[in-house]
Amino acid sequence: MPNPFFKNHGPLKLSIILNSLNININDLKKDSEINDIKDLLSSTENDITFFHSKKYKDVAKKTKASFCITTNILKNELPQNCLALVVDNVLVSTAKITSLFYPDSRNDNFDETVSSINHTNYKDKVSFGKNVLIGKNVSIGKNCKIGHNTIIEKNVIIGDNCSIGSNNIIRNTLMKNNIRVLDNCVIGKHGFGFFPIKNNNLRYPHIGVVLIEDNCEIGCGATIDRGSMSNTIIGKNTYLDNQIHIAHNVKIGENSIIAGQVGIAGSSIIGNNVKIGGQAGISGHLSIGNNVEIGGGSGVIRNIPDNTKVMGYPAKNIREFLRDNK
């Protein structure tokens, strides 16, 4: 499905990509075109992708992309159909190329298209409070309610039987049915992606969306960042308590319960039927299995297999934790 929030300015000539990366490969047809930039998993023929960590070597071996921004050490993990474009800093180079395809993706300015819901087709279809603003091309399903001072920005899709509380900002988001968003939430802003550069840090573009599946609840003060390259996903029947932060590219499975003030760093994957206690922190790029329970205040810095209970910092098997803290 085409990105509903960011316009792809491709296809781009390969020569433009190579010049931006300061790469010269004589044998290539530099007038050939590249359609899009995507992650390793979703890219297809005539796309460009990136591969920056050996953690993703199994996915890299299966990519269908025609070109991949990577390092000299990692390039041999790529399949024959994918040509390595070797650079010194993969993520900085990927940010440059993403900005060529999606020049608006680094900005996160307010939506100038919003207007009072009283001036839209939804004034007689939705129950709403005071000062509700709606952007262009917003879709809102049947039997929905929107609280005071809430802003729903352009192209957002909200399904049936959804309740959106007061003082919320929702952008770059696709919400399915039977979802409750309580008050003071910000959903779909860009993630905290920077590259430290002296006097002028480089912001990483975020072209993904937030996808919230059926029957979810988002507690007061929650912040959910949109994905950078892939999407941030909240699975079916998952409940988030108050003041939770979900970073870019995080994927939470079905039937999970996450207590207040939990923070999940970027690109971590949470399985199904997971319970996370209050104020726990989960580092980025981790995999948390199905049926895992994480005790309150824990710090998770390693992958956790299915059917495991952990607690402490660093988080360890709960039996080991209790033995060490008698």
CATH number at residue 205: 2.160.10.10
At residue 4, the 3 state secondary structure works out as coil
- Judgement on whether residues 144 and 48 belong to the same structural domain of the protein: no
Q: At what angle do helices 14-21 and 90-101 cross, to 10 degrees?
A: 140
At residue 232, the 3 state secondary structure works out as strand
Tell me how far apart the alpha carbons of residues 23 and 3 are, in angstroms, rounded to a whole number.
29
pLDDT at 205: 93
Decide if 108 is inside a domain: no
- Judgement on whether residues 213 and 313 belong to the same structural domain of the protein: yes
Decide if 119 is inside a domain: yes
Decide if 109 is inside a domain: no
- Judgement on whether residues 79 and 142 belong to the same structural domain of the protein: no
- Reading the block at residue 168, the tokens are 């919320």
Q: Find the distance separating the first CA and the last CA of the chain, reported in whole Å.
A: 54
At residue 191, the 3 state secondary structure works out as coil
Where does a domain end: 76, 101, 126? 101
pLDDT at 1: 63
pLDDT at 254: 98
Tell me how far apart the alpha carbons of residues 50 and 60 are, in angstroms, rounded to a whole number.
9
Tell me how far apart the alpha carbons of residues 179 and 161 are, in angstroms, rounded to a whole number.
7
- Judgement on whether residues 156 and 297 belong to the same structural domain of the protein: yes
Where does a domain end: 69, 101, 133? 101
Decide if 26 is inside a domain: yes
Listed in order, strand segments (DSSP E) in 192-260 are: 194-195, 202-203, 210-212, 217-218, 223-224, 232-234, 239-240, 245-246, 251-252, 257-258
CB distance 226 to 191 below 8 Å: yes
Tell me how far apart the alpha carbons of residues 207 and 234 are, in angstroms, rounded to a whole number.
17
Where does a domain end: 74, 101, 128? 101
**Residues forming the active site:** 248
Ranges in the chain, pLDDT < 50: none
Tell me how far apart the alpha carbons of residues 10 and 67 are, in angstroms, rounded to a whole number.
15
Domain enclosing residue 278, as ranges: 115-324
Residues 6+ apart with CB under 8 A from 109: none
Give the C-alpha distances (Å, rounded to integers) separating 142 from 120, 161, 163, 236.
15, 6, 11, 19
Decide if 4 is inside a domain: no
- Plot region of 95 (φ>0 → left; ψ -120 to 50 → alpha; else → beta): alpha
Decide if 7 is inside a domain: no
- Judgement on whether residues 303 and 217 belong to the same structural domain of the protein: yes
Buried b (16+ CB within 10 A) or exposed e, 220-236: bbbbbbbbbbbbbbbbb
Decide if 2 is inside a domain: no
- Judgement on whether residues 91 and 125 belong to the same structural domain of the protein: no
**If you write DSSP's letter for every residue of 118-176 in order, what string do you get?**
GGSGGGGTSEE-TT-EE-TT-EE-SS-EE-TT-EE-TT-EE-SS-EE-SS-EE-SEEE-
- Judgement on whether residues 135 and 45 belong to the same structural domain of the protein: no
- Judgement on whether residues 81 and 38 belong to the same structural domain of the protein: yes
- Reading the block at residue 21, the tokens are 């990366």
Phi, psi (degrees; rounded to nearest 5) at 275: -120, 125
pLDDT at 196: 80
- Judgement on whether residues 167 and 300 belong to the same structural domain of the protein: yes
Q: How many domains does the chain have?
A: 2
Give the C-alpha distances (Å, rounded to integers) separating 243 from 264, 267, 286.
12, 19, 21
CATH number of the domain that residue 89 is part of:
3.40.1390.10
- Judgement on whether residues 70 and 216 belong to the same structural domain of the protein: no
Decide if 314 is inside a domain: yes
- Judgement on whether residues 65 and 159 belong to the same structural domain of the protein: no
The reported pTM is 0.94
Tell me how far apart the alpha carbons of residues 156 and 135 are, in angstroms, rounded to a whole number.
8
- Judgement on whether residues 22 and 145 belong to the same structural domain of the protein: no
CB distance 47 to 37 below 8 Å: yes
Residue with tokens 């952007």: 135
